[in-house]
Amino acid sequence: MKYHIVSTSKTGHGAVFTNLKEALEYQKAHPGSIYHPFDRMPAKIPPIGKEAAEPIRTPGGSSGEITVYTDGSALGNPGPGGWGAVIIQGENEVEEYSQGYRHTTNNRMEMMAVINTLEILKDLRESSVTIHSDSQYTINGITKGWAKGWRKRGWKKADGKPALNPDLWARMLDLVELFPKLKFHWVRGHAGNALNERADDLANGAAGQGRDMLIDEGYVK
């Protein structure tokens, strides 16, 4: 698969496409941007002014490792929402997933991105899986033990107030416990990381599609 990268700034911002026509249309709409073709998904969008003849190393690596980038979006927050995930197995196998919801929140979509990724990878649970997300809410909820504490207290926070999104935290905790080699890594959003930007594009695209959108039952309730 060919990846078409359009750099729009000296700090490494831009967009990633798998369709050349879309990439060139995006470049045309952004005067001064630079187009770069890659045979593999780069780790970061090349900044304008830097030579990009050599592909940047794809994160992940060996066949036993799986690298994931997830993101969530809600237009208006709350509003129409979507999640996106980019899953890389080894160095060359890249899969993308997304889904839109009629009415939800940004945090719920960030969580749904992780939940659905773990569901997709359930048969590969013994692999080393690293999930990259720009949601501190999602990552801290797991890595700092917040969600386990909320569950132990009957989905209440330390101050006695109800914990938000208990339905999704319950699902995520059950899934996380299935993956012995699972790691989470926080990445800064909109900072030029091509895979994070791609997950963001997938989430926003799903949120704005206006059709084939699901109902977020947990949020409605």
Catalytic site residue 71?
yes
Catalytic site residue 123?
no
Catalytic site residue 200?
yes
Catalytic site residue 174?
no
Element (H, E) at 138: helix 136-143
Backbone angles phi, psi at 151, to 5 degrees: -65, -40
Q: How far apart are CA 151 and CA 197, in angstroms?
A: 32
Q: Catalytic residue among 12, 14, 71, 100, which? A: 71
Q: Catalytic residue among 72, 82, 84, 141, which? A: 72
SS3 19: coil
Q: Catalytic residue among 134, 197, 201, 216, which? A: 134
CB 166 within 8 A of CB 155: yes
Q: Catalytic residue among 197, 200, 201, 216, which? A: 200
Catalytic site residue 49?
no
Give the angle subtended at the CA of 79 by the CAs of 75 and 81, to the nearest 5°.
Answer: 65
Catalytic site residue 72?
yes
CB 19 within 8 A of CB 4: yes
| DSSP-derived secondary structure letter, 61 | -
Q: Catalytic residue among 36, 84, 110, 132, which? A: 110
Which residues, at least 6 apart from 65, have a Cβ–Cβ distance to it below 8 Å?
A: 89, 90, 127, 128, 129, 130
Q: Which residues are catalytic?
A: 71-72, 110, 134, 190, 200
